Chains A and B, each alone.
Chain A
Amino acid sequence: AQSVTQLDSQVPVFEEAPVELRCNYSSSVSVYLFWYVQYPNQGLQLLLKYLSGSTLVKGINGFEAEFNKSQTSFHLRKPSVHISDTAEYFCAVTLYSGGGADGLTFGKGTHLIIQP
């Protein structure tokens, strides 16, 4: 079975500073990787995904992530954060071979707190 570990439950960052949210996964087979954002009292919105190809993936709102197969990591980065980036961020995987029927396996989330 696959699993996702988000190493930081909470990350405080000053506005306009860079940020990295860490995600490691465990799986015996190939996976697809996703980052979702959840604003208070809302559902989840996809930031970006890695299916194949270039290991550097660019998403919405200036976020990007890099897939590292040897380290089984998919860390999320943004060069300069804004107050509006305050939210909960979830890393998720789904099995490449499952056809999506295995659903998404999520990490526990990282709360990004932007300080003025």
Chain B
Amino acid sequence: ETGVTQSPTHLIKTRGQQVTLRCSSQSGHNTVSWYQQALGQGPQFIFQYYREEENGRGNFPPRFSGLQFPNYSSELNVNALELDDSALYLCASSPPGVGTEAFFGQGTRLTVV
């Protein structure tokens, strides 16, 4: 069984640019969520997708957007990058049901210069 995979593992962008991060969910999981983890902090919830619709969002501005595809893979898009967007971005997928375990990928380390 393939776990949650994220790409790329690292990237460097310039302030003002746009970035797309990708996530492949674990087989059988129809829910995907994204988190931002700044250095030395706990992950912060960005948003969640269920059956290709955003059904939950944390306290992040609209320049953070996403997509979920029919195969349940997902993208996180960030426009107008700011220096404070530098962080580890984690994707997690979950099987159907409440309180089910979120399985995390290894993350994408984004550096904005």
Encoded as 1 (CB less than 8 Å from any A CB) or 0, chain B from 30 to 47 comes to: 010101000011111101
Nearest Cβ on chain B to A16's Cβ, whole angstroms: 28
Residues of chain A with a CB closer than 8 A to B35's CB: 103-104, 106
Interface size on B, residues (CB 8 A): 29
Residues of chain A with a CB closer than 8 A to B50's CB: 101
- If A44-B43, A90-B43, A109-B41 touch, whether A103 touches B105 (CB-CB below 8 Å) is no
Total of A-B residue pairs, C-beta within 8 Å: 70
In the bound complex, do residue B31 and residue A100 qualify as a contact, i.e. CB atoms below 8 Å apart? yes
- Which residue of A49, A98, A99, A107 is within 8 Å of B101 (Cβ)? A49
User: How far is A90 from B106 in the complex, measured between Cα atoms in Å?
Assistant: 16
Nearest Cβ on chain A to B51's Cβ, whole angstroms: 12
Residues of chain B with a CB closer than 8 A to A102's CB: 45, 56
- Asked if B90 is at the interface of the complex by the 8 Å CB criterion, the answer is yes
- If A101-B50, A102-B56, A105-B45 touch, whether A43 touches B98 (CB-CB below 8 Å) is no
Nearest Cβ on chain B to A88's Cβ, whole angstroms: 9
Nearest Cβ on chain A to B54's Cβ, whole angstroms: 9
- If A103-B48, A106-B42, A109-B42 touch, whether A94 touches B105 (CB-CB below 8 Å) is no
11 A-B residue pairs with CB within 8 Å: A32-B98, A42-B107, A43-B90, A43-B107, A90-B43, A100-B100, A101-B56, A103-B58, A104-B43, A105-B45, A109-B40
- B interface residues, Cβ below 8 angstroms from A: 4, 31, 33, 35, 40-45, 47-48, 50, 55-56, 58, 90, 92, 94, 98-107
